[in-house]
């Protein structure tokens, strides 16, 4: 199932680049069941910079930056009170259609043309972080949050999605990483199979080795 005029009727597109990447998290905690489109968003940089004081954690945030990019999914939805609460540490900023590249690897050839036409006529927003603060040992990055992001990347693009997320996101180090596998701290955590938990932990370990 792909995005079409019916699924977009009366809605906008949110470039989800964090927990909104996860189908399970979107559906269970925000009631968003529409199909999504994998994309690369240019001129936006993603980092571990959104401090959730109310949860003592740090989440990913996006900030405008020429030449940067991040992988995301265009999520058809309405900007309603439920979504505003979920994204309370962000503002909805308009994205230029020319800064969007569609990942067509999971689409049929005729779908690509249709999706491009549809999204060109639909407002696209990204959640821009309200205040940029790098993760610290007091406000760490929880594995349950990272895994929620990565399972969404994996669902769309497999290992390439995981690699794209890790290499296009700055600010993660061992000193600010919280291994909360047994008792997830992220309140909207996706359900992660045990084999994928191991896979994601290895991806994170590789990231730490590369950035030392």
Q: Where are the domains of the chain?
A: 5-211
Per-residue pLDDT reduced to its tens digit, 152-170: 999 999 999 999 999 999 9
Q: Answer for the pair 127, 74: CB distance below 8 angstroms, yes or no.
A: no
> What's the pTM?
0.92
Confidence (pLDDT) at 111: 63
Q: Answer for the pair 145, 189: CB distance below 8 angstroms, yes or no.
A: yes
Confidence (pLDDT) at 95: 97
Q: Answer for the pair 212, 84: CB distance below 8 angstroms, yes or no.
A: no
- Looking at 31-139, list the stretches that DSSP marks H as alpha helix, in order from N- to C-terminal side: 81-86, 109-120
Q: Answer for the pair 119, 74: CB distance below 8 angstroms, yes or no.
A: yes
Q: Answer for the pair 164, 71: CB distance below 8 angstroms, yes or no.
A: yes
Q: Answer for the pair 84, 30: CB distance below 8 angstroms, yes or no.
A: no
Per-residue pLDDT reduced to its tens digit, 46-71: 999 999 998 999 999 999 999 999 99
Question: Given 3.10.490.10, 3.10.180.10, 3.40.50.300, 1.10.1380.10, which CATH number is that of 5-211?
Answer: 3.10.490.10
């Amino acid at each position: 199932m792909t995005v079409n005029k019916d699924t977009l009727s009366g809605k906008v597109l949110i470039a989800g680049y964090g927990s909104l990447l996860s189908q399970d998290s979107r559906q269970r905690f925000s009631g968003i069941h529409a199909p999504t489109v994998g994309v690369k968003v240019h001129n936006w940089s993603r980092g571990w910079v959104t401090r959730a004081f109310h949860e003592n954690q740090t989440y990913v945030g996006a900030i405008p930056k020429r030449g940067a990019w991040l992988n995301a999914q265009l999520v058809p939805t309405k900007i309603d009170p439920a979504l505003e609460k979920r994204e309370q540490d962000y503002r909805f900023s308009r994205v230029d259609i020319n800064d969007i590249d569609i990942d067509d690897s999971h689409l049929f050839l005729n779908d690509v043309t249709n999706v491009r036409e549809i999204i060109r006529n639909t407002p696209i927003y990204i959640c821009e972080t309200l205040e940029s603060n790098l993760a610290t040992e007091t406000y760490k990055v929880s594995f349950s949050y990272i895994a929620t992001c990565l399972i969404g990347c994996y669902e769309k693009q497999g290992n390439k999605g995981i690699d794209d997320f890790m290499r296009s996101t700055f600010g993660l180090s061992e000193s600010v990483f919280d291994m909360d596998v047994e008792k997830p701290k992220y309140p909207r955590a996706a359900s992660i199979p045990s084999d994928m938990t191991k896979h994601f932990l290895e991806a994170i370990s590789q990231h730490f080795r590369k950035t030392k």
